[in-house]
Amino acid sequence: MAALRVLPALAAALFLAAAGQTSKYSREANEAGEFRVVRLNQVWEKAQRLHLSAVKLAELHSDLKIQEKDELSWKKLKAEGLDEDGEKEAKLRRNLHVIMTKYGMNEKKDSQLVDTNYIKDGTESDTLDDPRLEKLWSKAKTSGKFSDEELDKLWREFKHHKEKIREYNILLETVSRTEDIHKNVINPSEENLVKEEILHNKHRELKEKLRSINQGFERLRKVSHQGYDTTSEFEEPRVIDLWDMAKSANFTEKELESFREELKHFEAKIEKHHHYQKQLEISHQKLKHVEGTGDKDHLNRNKEKYAMLQEKTKELGYKVKKHLQDLSSRISQGLQHNEL
């Protein structure tokens, strides 16, 4: 993993320019925008100008809702003086960077992120940005060991792995910058001791992410060569990751069994979300077709159905990502306890 590329901090300027401005929570923004935070409305408006697909927009909306919740919580903490070291603010900045990079809003011409998704044409037009992953995917596609449905599922695993690498690179770059600043401090102080603790926590987070990447790559290599194991307990990539990490955490047998049951419910929730994503994409295609016919009644019916599916997909997407955040946090605490 030493060859992982470090991505530039593309969203930092946007975050810092807006941080500390009380007007970002103004009444006008609440009334006029989709979100209560001005910069998130700016990201949302930019995404709409990029003409992202219906599914991508719904996914972005869910990500921004999570970001909004976290930023509003941080605002309260900051007002109470509970983020003096700026660690939570830095994490928010990092998360926003990940979101913007994920959806091609990093000021680069990232054409594969515009109007594509894995349901419609991702397996043909999207890229994995890693020669090893591209080689494994190519081998799997031509092996004849996978049905179309299994290939779709495998592609989601590859895309999930790509996102994990992205997140690792962003965190790695943040740690490197923090270390450079820390090395230039001449006089040690209590504040610097706090920063050392922050660095320690970030290194631990890096270690967890790298372990997850290595485990994930080994799984992709095995599945690509051998096909899917029909006796596998879980199918969804995020759930498989969580289960692998949970087994390494400091859980009792009873806690692990309870976690397994919760992961089954979580996987069912993800499958339901996938179903609505597919229905939304189909509805979007139908709507574009009907717009060309001039049939107003038919068009209005399709618009209503599309709007309903869009809202349901957004709602489910938010619930899935919030649940994932909670589960990941619990596992992280268990893994940290192992190191004590």
> DSSP string covering 259-278, please?
HHHHHHHHHHHHHHHHHHHH
pLDDT tens digits for range 137-191: 999 999 988 999 889 889 989 988 998 898 888 888 878 876 666 565 555 555 5
CA distance from start to end of the chain: 26
pTM: 0.73
**With contact defined as beta carbons under 8 Å apart, do 36 and 11 qualify?**
no
**Distance, C-alpha 76 to centroid of its chain:** 24
88 three-state secondary structure: helix
Distance CA 25, CA 169 (A): 31
pLDDT tens digits for range 111-126: 333 333 333 334 444 6
**With contact defined as beta carbons under 8 Å apart, do 277 and 58 qualify?**
yes
Among 42-46, 91-95, 187-191, which stretch is predicted with the lowest mean pLDDT?
187-191
Residue 35 carries which side chain, given as an amino acid letter?
F
Distance CA 142, CA 144 (A): 6
Banded pLDDT at 133 (limits 50, 70, 90): very high
Q: Which of 200, 185, 173 is nearest to 9 (CA)?
A: 173
Res. 193: pLDDT tops 70: no
Tokens of 35: 């979100």
Q: Which of 245, 244, 229 is nearest to 154 (CA)?
A: 229
How many CB atoms neighbour CB 69 within 10 A?
Answer: 14
Res. 8: pLDDT tops 90: no
**What is the structure's pLDDT at 338?**
56
Distance CA 237, CA 155 (A): 10
Q: Which of 234, 266, 231, 265 is nearest to 247 (CA)?
A: 234
Which positions ≥6 away from 127 have C-beta within 8 Å?
112, 134
Q: What average pLDDT does the chain have?
A: 80
pLDDT tens digits for range 236-251: 888 988 998 888 888 8
User: b vs e for 37-64, b when ≥16 Cβ sit within 10 Å of the residue's Cβ?
Assistant: bbbbbebbeebeebebbbbbbbbbbbbb
**With contact defined as beta carbons under 8 Å apart, do 92 and 70 qualify?**
yes
Tokens of 328: 């990941």
